[in-house]
Amino acid sequence: MNNKLNIGLIGLGTVGQGVVKVLSSYDDIEIVSCAVKDLNKKRDVEVKNLTTDVYSIVNNPEIDVIVEVAGGVWVLEPLLTAIKNKKHIVTANKELLARHGAQLFDCARENNAAILFEASVAGGIPIIQAIKTSLKANNFDCVAGILNGTTNYILTKMEEDNLSYDDCLKNAQKLGYAETDPTNDVEGYDAMYKIALLANIVFNKRIDASKIYCEGITKISPLDIKSADELGYKIKLIAQAKKVENSTDLDIRVHPMLVWKSQAISEIKNATNAVLLKGFPVDKLMFVGPGAGEFPTTSSVVGDILQIKSEITNSDAILPMQTCHHHDYANQISVDETVNSYYLRIEAQNKLGIIGQIGLACQSFGVNLSSILQKGINDNGSATIIVVSEDCREKDINSMIETLEKTGDIKVVNKIRVM
Ligand SMILES: NC(=O)c1ccc[n+]([C@@H]2O[C@H](COP(=O)([O-])OP(=O)(O)OC[C@H]3O[C@@H](n4cnc5c(N)ncnc54)[C@H](OP(=O)(O)O)[C@@H]3O)[C@@H](O)[C@H]2O)c1
């Protein structure tokens, strides 16, 4: 190729328009054509050759790189066509890569094409390239983080303003932090796709996203946040992937967690994202920054475009570090086999012997308690009891809860794992 890079853009929404604005200052990069759904929509930017025919872009021989910022899994076939036409791909699409990455990366390898996806995890934080290149020397034990800005915003507002989940969700929707249908964010699916991608490059294994345990924030109440606060914790939606001790199996999950206030990640507020890594020889790292938004996300997309440009301008090929080399799937353990410390919010009848019943059930299943908190009796005559356990197996705490609830006097209203 000559020194000019020709781009085919798919999507001209929040991120696509940011990409057009930032690329307008590059004389040697041209957006040749752009696919959208609605040609008549009003936009902040002008792009030549706007089309609804995505195949006219992926089959255009003039185009070197496809920048896909449309979202959704419908782009799988067009992108496979682009790769077979020897085009490199830059994408921000975590769902597509988490669900169909194996097919896309196999196709890319066969066609000597690169798929760069920095924007797909944690928006503006340059975590993918850091893991693939500067941190390549490391053997990682764990990657974890706050990977969804919407849920972190809701949890921050619940804590700071003492509001219910529903009220905070409505505010987040008004301010544009949450979509009209917030399911993907609040049920944890968005974070699940992102941790699948991170685990994939951190552990050099393919990850089956459908096997990742995923629980969102919809059951968190102001009472949980207040109780956690009294015990010295904040509540965050944490996505994590870690090696199981003395094994190559992986424990990957997304769920709310109590985080000690002394841990730096507890300070991550509002829509900010954070990624923690622990490995040898580097030890512990934390990356913090904007996890979404037009310009932070554009920073990552354009960074990938420039990376491809600099490499293919010099050698007509992509550095091996940028391509995917692993084929094996990780063995992912089920959540039942995981080991955690747990916070339980218990509602009990105000009867003699309730604490004794909790103690007996804990003893039967080998669950040791580290804290227990009860403040008087509620107006309706029930008692709210908060307990925090030491580390135990998920299936044991679940059996213990089942036994407690069979008494009819005790209900475990919420179970939250502790980080
Ligand atoms: N927004 C962020 O902060 C952010 C952060 C990180 C990653 N991402 C990822 O970036 C991608 C884009 O996000 P976004 O927020 O920019 O989305 P968006 O504002 O909804 O824009 C999507 C764009 O794709 C176009 N599109 C949708 N379906 C299409 C189809 N069938 N054919 C042609 N064009 C189609 C839309 O066309 P119309 O404009 O005509 O409707 C629109 O221009 C997603 O994968 C998202 O997960 C976004």
Residue 302 is predicted with a pLDDT of 98
CA of 20 to the centre of ligand 1 (A): 13
Of ligand 1's listed atoms, the one at least distance from the Cα of 38 is 40
278 has pLDDT over 60: yes
Q: Is residue 267 part of a domain?
A: yes
Mean of per-residue pLDDT scores for the chain? 95
Whole-Å CA distances, 102 to 6, 67, 85, 361, 381: 27, 19, 18, 45, 56
Of ligand 1's listed atoms, the one at least distance from the Cα of 18 is 16
285 shares a domain with 141: yes
Best substitution site from 37, 91, 272 to test ligand 1's pocket, by max atoms within 8 Å of Cβ?
37
Q: Is residue 96 part of a domain?
A: yes
**CA distance from start to end of the chain:** 50
Q: How confident is the model at residue 289 (pLDDT cuts 50, 70, 90)?
A: very high
Give me the CATH number covering residue 310. Answer: 3.40.50.720
Ligand 1 in reach of 92 Cβ (< 6 A): yes
231-273, pLDDT tens digit by residue? 999 999 999 999 999 999 999 999 999 999 999 999 999 999 9
159 shares a domain with 281: yes
In the DSSP assignment, the letter for residue 250 is E
Domain containing residue 183: 127-290
Q: Is residue 174 part of a domain?
A: yes
- What b-and-e string marks burial along 17-35, b requiring 16 or more CB atoms within 10 Å of the CB? bbbbebbeeeeebbbbbbb
Residue 316 is predicted with a pLDDT of 67
Cross-strand partners of 283: 279
Q: Is residue 329 part of a domain?
A: no
CB pairs under 8 A, 24+ apart, for 166-171?
none
CA of 74 to the centre of ligand 1 (A): 12
Ligand 1 in reach of 38 Cβ (< 6 A): yes
Average the pLDDT over 149-177 and give the result.
Answer: 95
Q: Is residue 308 part of a domain?
A: yes
Instruction: Phi first, then psi: give them for residue 13, nearest 5 degrees.
Output: -100, -140
Give me the CATH number covering residue 196. Answer: 3.30.360.10
336-365, pLDDT tens digit by residue? 999 999 999 999 998 889 999 999 999 999
Average the pLDDT over 160-187 and give the result.
Answer: 94
Ligand 1 in reach of 37 Cβ (< 6 A): yes
Residue 167 is predicted with a pLDDT of 96
391 shares a domain with 317: no
Q: Is residue 173 part of a domain?
A: yes
Catalytic residue, chosen from 132, 157, 194, 415, is 194
CA of 15 to the centre of ligand 1 (A): 7
118-151, pLDDT tens digit by residue? 999 999 999 999 999 999 999 999 999 999 999 9
In the DSSP assignment, the letter for residue 13 is S
**For residue 137, how far is the Cα from the chain centroid?**
24
> Which regions of 304-368 does DSSP assign to beta strands (E)?
339-349
33 shares a domain with 142: no
Q: pTM of the entire structure?
A: 0.96
Q: Is residue 226 part of a domain?
A: yes
**Cα 139–276–293 angle (5° rounding)?**
125
CA of 100 to the centre of ligand 1 (A): 18
Ligand 1 in reach of 78 Cβ (< 6 A): no
Residue 1 is predicted with a pLDDT of 54
Residue 150 is predicted with a pLDDT of 96
372 shares a domain with 257: no
Ligand 1 in reach of 292 Cβ (< 6 A): yes
- Identify the domain boundary among 290, 313, 330: 290
Average the pLDDT over 68-97 and give the result.
Answer: 97
118 shares a domain with 137: no
Per the annotation, the verdict on 242 as an active-site residue is no
166 shares a domain with 205: yes
C-alpha 39/C-alpha 18 separation (Å) is 18
Of ligand 1's listed atoms, the one at least distance from the Cα of 123 is 6
150 shares a domain with 104: no
Nearest to 295 by CA among 6, 8, 16, 5: 16
DSSP annotation string for 337-348: G-EEEEEEEEEE
269 shares a domain with 252: yes
Indicate the range of 85-89, 316-320, 370-374, 394-398 predicted with least confidence.
316-320
Q: How confident is the model at residue 335 (pLDDT cuts 50, 70, 90)?
A: very high
Of ligand 1's listed atoms, the one at least distance from the Cα of 120 is 7
CA of 108 to the centre of ligand 1 (A): 23
Q: Compute how many other C-beta atoms are within 10 angstroms of the C-beta atom of residue 280.
A: 10
Tokens of 371: 């804290």
80 has pLDDT over 80: yes
Best substitution site from 12, 15, 73, 150 to test ligand 1's pocket, by max atoms within 8 Å of Cβ?
15
370 shares a domain with 268: no
Q: How confident is the model at residue 2 (pLDDT cuts 50, 70, 90)?
A: low
Average the pLDDT over 297-318 and give the result.
Answer: 89
Identify the three-state secondary structure at position 106.
Answer: helix
Nearest to 259 by CA among 244, 283, 240: 240
Residue 312 is predicted with a pLDDT of 86
Whole-Å CA distances, 187 to 228, 335, 359, 417: 21, 17, 33, 16
220 shares a domain with 114: no
As a whole-number percent, the residues of the chain with pLDDT over 90 amount to 90
Give me the CATH number covering residue 364. Answer: 3.30.70.260
Look up residue 103 and give its amino acid.
Answer: Q
91 shares a domain with 61: yes
Number of domains, the chain: 3
Q: Is residue 327 part of a domain?
A: no
